[in-house]
């Protein structure tokens, strides 16, 4: 068996493995204990494959038919530049880090963004996450620092209260 990694489009059959990695990412980000990560393979399949307009797309790092990393992205819209790409997750199983897999996944999503007229890719990263160094190495600007943008959220009971 080869130890080489193939980067390819995610398939319906990959969603069980991707969901497992999403749960690992949630644990890494200290969110799983707060019951924030409610994702299931069935939801991934429904949202990404069982609809005429998939909500997300993905790339996977495949080694010997095992998904060892993934990138999930979707089309977003900027009123300044038009269509753009939002990278929701980029994750590589810790035992395979340092092999350039994250960079390969990241570049695949960047190529999708480059092909859009807007030529823009956005994502967020926790302030304490060492991946910030990786993203800066890839050429990213931290617009929290440079443009003072804040990433905000309204969900759960707060969203319910607002909509009463």
Question: Does the annotation count 135 as an active-site position?
Answer: yes
Exactly one of 70, 73, 135, 151 is catalytic; which is it?
Answer: 135
In this structure, what is the dihedral angle of CA atoms 90, 94, 96, 102, given to the nearest 10 degrees?
20
What is the per-residue DSSP string for 85-114? EEEEEEEE-GGGTTSSHHHHHHHHHHHHHH
Closest alpha carbon to 59 in 69, 49, 46, 48 = 69
Contacts of residue 12, Cβ cutoff 8 Å, sequence gap at least 6? 45, 48, 49
- Residues involved in catalysis: 135
């Amino acid at each position: 068996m080869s130890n080489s990694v193939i980067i390819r489009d995610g398939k319906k059959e990959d969603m069980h493995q991707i969901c497992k990695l999403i749960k690992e990412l949630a644990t890494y980000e200290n969110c799983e204990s707060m019951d924030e990560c409610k994702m299931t393979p069935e939801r991934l399949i429904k949202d990404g494959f069982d609809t005429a307009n998939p909500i997300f797309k993905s790339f996977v790092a495949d080694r010997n038919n095992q998904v060892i990393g993934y990138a999930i992205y979707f089309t977003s819209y900027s009123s300044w530049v038009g269509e753009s790409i939002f990278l929701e997750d980029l994750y590589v199983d810790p035992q395979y880090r340092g092999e350039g897999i994250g960079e390969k996944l990241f570049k695949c999503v960047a190529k999708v963004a480059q092909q859009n007229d807007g030529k823009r890719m956005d994502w967020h990263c926790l302030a304490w996450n060492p991946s910030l160094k990786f993203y800066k190495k890839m050429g990213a600007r931290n617009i929290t620092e440079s443009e003072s943008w804040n990433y905000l959220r309204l969900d759960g009971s707060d969203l319910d209260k607002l909509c009463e």
